[in-house]
A and B are shown apart, each in its own frame.
Chain A
């Protein structure tokens, strides 16, 4: 049982490049979400999904896309990277919105 996995661990992008951050969970959780964590700020919700085929925007969705074709996977796409997207990104999953969330190890992204 690997829990929540994220790849890559580190990534450096140039402004304007696109990329996909991968997230997978093997706990059969319906609820998955993406957060970014910046110094001095709490975790902020980017996008979330309550089940396969269903996604919704969080607090800071601009510049990011998500899809949920399977229960296990919830990739986050950066369409055209900007320096403001330099951050640490965490994926999380839970049985439901009211249950304990399990976080992945994070992806540290730098956009130059």
Chain B
């Protein structure tokens, strides 16, 4: 069964500090891996999409890494800001039947930045 597990479930850090969120998956065959940011009461917003051949991808202070061999990804946030407080969702896209893609969503990491 395709699964995406994220850790930690929640994290509290001081403003200005760095943090790393983890994502492990068992989706196969693999197509791509996505990280989304979801503010409270709003829809998810895409941060990065990484394919099999990409090890690292950055979007401002957000840097995602992918190790397709160990089926692990991480999202590193540098110099955190109060606006980074949100849930971060890891989504893995696998190939379903007839070439269709199927998305498997993690349950997210709830990040809280305190001043």
Contact = CB atoms under 8 A, between A and B. Distances in A.
B89 A43 contact: yes
A98 interface: yes
A105 B39 CA distance: 10
Contact of B101 (A4, A41, A98, A102): A98
A23 to B, nearest CB: 11
B46 A42 contact: no
A99 B49 CA distance: 8
Interface stretch (B13-21, B69-77, B104-112): B104-112
B105 A42 contact: yes
Given A98-B32, A98-B101, A106 B107 contact: no
Nearest to B32: A98
Contact of A106 (B32, B42, B104, B108): B42
B43 A103 contact: yes
Contacts, number: 41
B107 A42 contact: yes
Contacts of B45: 103
Nearest to A56: B100
A45 interface: yes
A42 B109 CA distance: 11
B103 A45 contact: yes
A41 B106 CA distance: 8
Contact of A40 (B31, B34, B49, B107): B107
A42 B104 CA distance: 8
Nearest to A3: B43
B85 interface: no
Contact of B49 (A42, A100, A103): A100
Interface of A: 4, 40-45, 90, 92, 97-106
Q: Which 8 A-B pairs have the closest CB atoms?
A: A103-B43, A42-B105, A97-B101, A43-B105, A100-B46, A103-B44, A42-B107, A90-B43
